[in-house]
Amino acid sequence: MELRHLRYFVAVATELNFSKAAGKLHVAQPALSTQIADLEREIGTSLLIRNTRTVQLTAAGEVFLADARSILAATESAKDKAMRTSRGEVGELSIGFFAAPTMLFLPDLIRRYRAMYPNVTIRMHELAPDRQLNAFAREEIDVGFTRPPPPGHPDLAVQVLFQESFLAVTADTHPLATRQRLELSELAQERFVLLDRSVAVGLYDHIISACRTAGFSPSVIHSPDLMATVLTMVAAEQGVSVIPEGVKYLRRKQVAYVPILPSLDPIPFVLCWRTKSDSPPRDAFLRLVSGDPLLFKPKAASKSFCDF
């Protein structure tokens, strides 16, 4: 028994006329009659009562008609769902992010994505860069807004969204707080408060490398695991820090942000995704991101909130 047998039978049972059913199906009437006969032979009972003038359903035909319609409807539904899934219109999308760098653009991006794909379930996970790597490894997230992953992750694709410059940050009572700019080497004798390396390896190593290039190895005396805590400790005169520029929007009072000249190499903010996985909702999300490069212009990034 094939789906065409069901379609042919439903057409005849609906029209109760072989000629009309054949016309709707665009098949020859003898061929239709043969298919119905084959179906009845396979089932083992008559489904239709035929004579020269009328066609009627048998009791078995009435029961079979209801089930045949359900099967055909379910088949069309399955086909439609498969096609919609292949286009990324249904399914699930899991997004990893850390809040502050994404606050400028991510809410609007998610709203636009939901407007385009309302039947996709979106799951958002606030995760530090190192935890995003673990989540990728466990296949818990499809995409991640993060810092560039360290070497050793060939299965992750990376798209740079924008670059962030660096600032020095001191307590507002610090002698350097009133400076218009400073050189990184001027912090050589200071105590440092840096975000813990286990939270954001790339950021930590980037700052340490810049200090060494400037001729010193920073004395890191505190390593909290939240950037807000870094700023609080700096405000409490526990040390100075070097931060991506967007961090300054986390705290306005009791601290001073001073540009570093010459500028340090900026640190990228990136979008990552697993290359060895099939996820149409993810692919649709990536198309949306790639289709609006103005969303990630550096000048917009400088106004962002940044946790790391």
Query: Are 153 and 292 in the same domain?
Result: yes
Asked if residue 306 belongs to a domain, the reply is no
Whether residue 293 has pLDDT greater than 80: no
Q: Which residues contact 58 (CB under 8 A, 6 or more apart)?
A: 45, 46, 47, 48, 49
pLDDT confidence of residue 159: 95
CA–CA distance, 188 with 167 (Å, rounded to integer): 15
pLDDT value at 299 more than 50: no
Average pLDDT over the chain, rounded to an integer: 90
Which CATH number belongs to the domain containing residue 17 in this structure?
A: 1.10.10.10
State what percent of residues in the chain have pLDDT above 90. Answer: 69
- As a whole number, mean pLDDT of residues 141-162 equals 93
Encoded tokens for 95: 């997004």
Same domain, yes or no: 203 and 177: yes
Please indicate, yes or no, whether residues 80 and 212 belong to a single structural domain of this protein.
no
Q: Lowest-confidence range among 15-24, 29-38, 99-108, 142-151?
A: 99-108
Asked if 208 and 218 touch (Cβ cutoff 8 Å), the reply is yes
Buried b (16+ CB within 10 A) or exposed e, 164-203: bbbbbbbbeebeebeeeebebebbeebebbbbbbebbbbb
pLDDT confidence band for 48 (50 / 70 / 90): very high
Which of 57, 86, 115 is where one domain is finished?
Answer: 86
For residues 140 and 275, state if they share a domain.
Answer: yes
Per-residue pLDDT, 102: 84
Least confident of 88-92, 135-139, 299-303: 299-303
Asked which of 17, 51, 86 is the last residue of a domain, the reply is: 86
Does pLDDT of 196 surpass 90?
A: yes
Cis peptide preceding 262, ω within 30 of 0: yes
Asked if the structure places residue 238 within a domain, the reply is yes
Residue type at position 294: L
Q: Are residues 115 and 134 in the same domain?
A: yes
Report the CATH number at residue 235.
3.40.190.10
77 and 101 co-located in one domain: no
User: In which order are the strands placed within the sheet that holds 156-164?
Assistant: 119-126, 90-97, 143-146, 267-274, 156-164
Report the pLDDT value the prediction gives residue 291, as an integer from 0 to 100. Answer: 83
pLDDT of residue 297: 58
User: How many folded domains does the chain comprise?
Assistant: 3
Query: Which among 279, 292, 275 is positioned nearest to 121, based on CA atoms?
Result: 279
* Same-domain check for residues 170 and 242: yes
Can you give the pTM of this predicted structure?
Answer: 0.70
Say how far apart CA 145 and CA 127 lie, in whole Å. 9
pLDDT band at 300 (very low <50, low <70, confident <90, very high): very low
**Is 170's pLDDT higher than 60?**
yes
Q: How does pLDDT run across 53-100, given as a tens digit for each residue?
A: 789 999 999 999 999 999 999 998 888 888 877 777 789 999 999 877
Q: Please indicate, yes or no, whether residues 202 and 240 belong to a single structural domain of this protein.
A: yes
> Is 60 exceeded by the pLDDT of residue 22?
yes
Considering 10-19, 228-237, 286-295, the range whose residues carry the highest mean pLDDT is 228-237
Are 157 and 272 members of one domain? yes
Which domain range does residue 284 map to? 90-163+267-301
Q: Of 155, 231, 157, 164, nearest to 193 (Cα)? A: 231
31 domain residue, yes or no: yes
Q: Are residues 145 and 292 in the same domain?
A: yes
Co-location of 139 and 221 in the same domain: no
Q: What is the mean pLDDT of residues 286-300?
A: 72
Look at residue 18 and tell me if it is in a domain: yes
Radius of gyration of the chain (CA): 32
Whether 98 and 159 map to the same domain: the answer is yes
Per-residue model confidence (pLDDT) at position 294: 64
